[in-house]
Structure 1
Amino acid sequence: MSRPFVNWSGSLAFTPSGYAEPADEDEVRELVLRARESGNTLRPVGSGHSSSPLVRTDGTLVSLHRMAGVIDKDSDRATVRGGSRLKELGEGLYKAGLAMENLGDVDYQSIAGATATGTHGTGLGFGNLSTQVSEVRLVTGTGEVLDVSATRNSDLLPAARLSLGVLGVVTQLTLDLQTRYDLSRRTWCAPVEWTLDHLADLQHTNRNVDFYWYPRSDLTQIRTMNRADGASAPSSTSTSRTPKTDGWYAPRELEVGPTHRTIPQNRKLRFEEIEYMLPSEAFPFCFAEVRRRILRRHRRIVGWRVLVRSIAADDIWLSNAYGRPTTAIACLQNASLPYEEYFRDMEAVFRQYGGRPHWGKKHWLTADDLRPLFPRWDDFQAARRRLDPDGVFLAPDLARLLEEA
């Protein structure tokens, strides 16, 4: 059975030769073995939120939406099925008295898709969602069911936590969790100069901080989040607060609620996005050039905003925050408006400052461009060839990303 596939934003559309919705791991194994025997490709797909062509294939597209829910849990971790959507997962964990440490801006995604592409939230003390994964269970390109953790096949854990879906079909993940808690969210607007001057102070004295810059008005909207019980953020050494704002401080919204309801935003407007992760020390210079170019070249067609977030360093091989504290700049554009000329110009700036592209968003890099950006690139490739020797998961778009010319 086949059906057309269109992603969330509408910019990625294709018709695979087959489409499958396995209900269990045995059915996933059958699909992998069949693809391997026939020489076809197979691509797992989550919710379709990604706008990069990671899932595009002329072979079989495999959705895990029937493989969702919590399998097992205890006081500080839970094993969940790969097709679990973040929104429903958050509700289920909350009812069990648990919560994920941090979340991204969207809860539409599946947990396997979000971790496989490096989805992240914001906060100096928090890595991307993949850093919350302690165990991965997957069906490899040979049809083997493989468990990867600190005690089983541990050499593969830095690859399996963020794998782009090329090591295998992720059927289960074990997440490190926290006792559930509420966050208070506060937003306000300020001039961009004020925001940049106070950003470091805001980041060090609040659990989570991000801001949008609006090119049309040249103003920013700042969002801070802190635990409602007053517990300090992992990166903080002082009480959370808002710096003196010279008359601009006027909280437009004050919301208190569970993390899975407070952090993600309601996304009724569909958009395209390019996001690059920069060494944090390069952020001020990069943002200044991004702002200059947008105001001079693109302001008339930029329909939306630019988002700035922070991410802690990690040791995951294909993570965009591997080995360095990271600041991410994302340019968002309404899906109904042209974006390529604008995004390509922004990509040139991001690359100038050592940026790494978000795997799930628009970019135009190939393996030759990417290899120098990731110190453990060759280690990941060795793991990929070991688990998928026949290239079952290596569709043409992924081959351009991962195989050098």
Structure 2
Amino acid sequence: MVEGLDLSGPSRRWRNWAGNQRADVPAVQPASADEVAHVLTTAAAAGRRVRPIGSGHSFSAIGLPDDVQLGCGRLAGIRSIEPDGRVTVGAGTTLHRLGTELLRRGWSLTNLGDIDRQTVAGALATGTHGTGARFGGLATQVRGLELVLPSGEVLDCDAQRHPEVFGAARVGLGALGVVTAVTLQAEPAFALRAVEGPGTLAAALEGFEELMTSADHVEFYWFPHTDATLLKCNTRLPLAEGLDPLPRWRAAWDDEVVANAAFAGVVAAGRRVPALVPPLARFSARALGRRAWTDHAHRVFVSRRRVRFLEMEYAVPRSDAPAVLAELRRVHEAGDWRTAFPVEVRLAAADDVPLSPAVGRDVAWIAAHVPARTEPGRWFDALESIAGEVGGRPHWGKLHGLDAAALRARYPRFDEFVALRDRLDPAGVLTNGYLDRVLGPGAHR
């Protein structure tokens, strides 16, 4: 039995990391696939809807429960590591914990995003990615899934067993079943040589391909109201070549004082006095100078994010990225906007996952941010419109305004996924308002 299983019991107050999604609903915390199955079959018999949730790092309403919330905090920990580097972990294991545990055993994940507080299952469900022209998102590292269907069946799936379910569930939006365990392909632990420094947007757009392929993992941040960028280039190195981490005082100064505390002050001042945003943006662009260091991969991939924000991110065809960014800059300069947060630009390789924003094409990820507890308004509208002109696809865990009709036109395998969802969850046990919007209400309506 599931501890505290009472679908009509007292509500639990929940909010996501950014604070823009909130709910008061009954919550359950199963500790095994069998307990998850019990929750789902009980809910189905009662005509209830269940929404699984990880650590709540999505900005969109993908994890927002409108009936019952299923937490995966007790589905955590490493189950096994094979000699070839295949690691099986509980769905509620955070990427932060996984990176640390893998390193202790001599392994690393191939690529990570710049935040690692998400659970493995939550990161997969939303299509989480890092950067690197040759590297796909987290879903491309998956080799197997333990998936509990709304019927209560526990399905072990991979490329040979139930391949159609496996292929789709790697970015499944939590719509096909509840992922309770994941097998990932790790690789021998490696280091990253990180080189960071200032640049310009004009130079980035003129030599976009050369710049973004100049190292294994490249990204840059453009500071609106300026031409300034912060460029980050990470090169993969064998651990045998040694580490040269930042001195603790430098890491604390750059990452805690400048990147978080000082930037929090910039954001707060800009909210109180919007006219200060342009000069403060120029200050922010100059605040972080050049630096270089070498450390374990997962420590370099990830950045601390203590200033809370809202985010929209679109994957656009890689060849269209310079034009999209140029138009975004033109629109920004033509408007009377106050944009304190930088725009983040990354790359990802094409993959074959039906609802991955990189399905079938190499992409550039372009992300805009605004402070938490503010209205994104026209700034996000502008990015969505410009990205839409080239068929851009939104990150599932970040804010966007598209519905099933618009998304069907941008995903060649959209109907394939929806048909699978309708087959596996005909009663809509796992749906919520967000999924009804982006996938359509399905057979249960």
What is the TM-score of this pair, normalised by structure 1?
A: 0.92
- Does 2:80 align with 1:72? yes
Q: Which of residues 137, 151, 162 in structure 1 aligns to 2:171?
A: 162
Q: Percent identity?
A: 39
1:68-147 paired onto structure 2 within 5 Å = 68-75=76-83, 76-147=85-156
> Does residue 94 of structure 2 align to residue 57 of structure 1?
no
Contact 2:37–2:150 (CA under 8 A) maintained in structure 1: no
Q: What is the CA–CA distance in structure 1 between the aligned matches of 2:158 and 2:423, rounded to whole Å?
A: 17
Deviations 1:5-52 (Å, cap 9, x if unpaired)? Answer: 111111111222x10111122211111011100111101001100010
Give, as a single letter, the amino acid of the residue that structure 1 aligns with 2:93: S
Deviations 1:175-198 (A, max 9, x none): 011000111111100121122233
Q: Secondary structure at the match of 1:216?
A: coil
Opposite residue 153 of structure 1, the aligned amino acid is H
**Alignment partner of 2:112: what SS?**
coil
Aligned-partner Cα distance in 1 for 2:342–2:87: 36
Of 33, 46, 54 in structure 2, the residue corresponding to residue 46 of structure 1 is 54
- Amino acid paired to 1:93: L
1:291 aligned partner: 329
Letter in 2 for 1:147: D
Between the aligned partners of 2:228 and 2:374, the Cα distance in structure 1 is: 22
Matches within 5 A, 1:4-403: 4-16=13-25, 18-75=26-83, 76-229=85-238, 252-297=290-335, 299=337, 301-403=338-440
Amino acid at match of 1:343: F
Secondary structure of 1:61's aligned partner: strand
The answer on whether the counterparts of 2:328 and 2:382 sit within 8 Å (CA) in structure 1 is: no
3-state DSSP of counterpart to 1:205: coil
Cα distance, 1:19–1:77 mapped onto 2, change above 3 Å: same
Counterpart secondary structure, 2:87: strand
Cα shift at 1:285: 1.2
Kindly indicate whether the alpha-carbon contact (under 8 Å) linking 1:184 and 1:228 is maintained by their aligned counterparts in 2.
Answer: yes
Displacement over 4 Å in runs of 4+: none
Distance in 1 (alpha carbons) for counterparts of 2:203 and 2:414: 39
- Any unmatched runs of 5+ in structure 2? 1-9, 241-285
* Superposed CA offset, 1:110-133 (max 9, x none): 110001110000001100101111
CA shift at 1:309, angstroms?
Answer: 0.4
Residue identity matched to 2:28: A
- Matches of 1:115 and 1:282, distance apart in 2: 26
Per-residue CA deviation, residues 253-295 of structure 1 (Å, 9 max, x unaligned), is 2122112111011001001100000011111111111111122
Aligned residues of 2:79 and 2:90 also touching (Cα < 8 A): yes
Alpha-carbon distance, 1:218 to partner: 2.3
Deviation at 1:404, TM superposition (A): 6.7
Residues 306, 331 of structure 1: 8 Å contact kept = yes
Structure 1 contact 139–169 (Cα < 8 Å) conserved: yes
Deviation at 1:230, TM superposition (A): 9.4
More helix by share: 2
Contact 2:20 2:373 in 1 (8 A): no
| Greater shift in the superposed pair: 394-403 or 77-86 | 394-403
The 1:83/1:298 distance shift into structure 2, 3 A limit, reads farther
**Is the Cα–Cα contact under 8 Å of residues 183 and 258 in structure 1 kept in the other structure?**
yes
Task: Give TM-score scaled by structure 2 length.
Answer: 0.84
Q: Give the superposition deviation at 1:59.
A: 1.2
> Can you list the C-alpha shifts for 1:366-405, whole angstroms capped at 9, x where unaligned?
1111111111111111111121121101112211111179
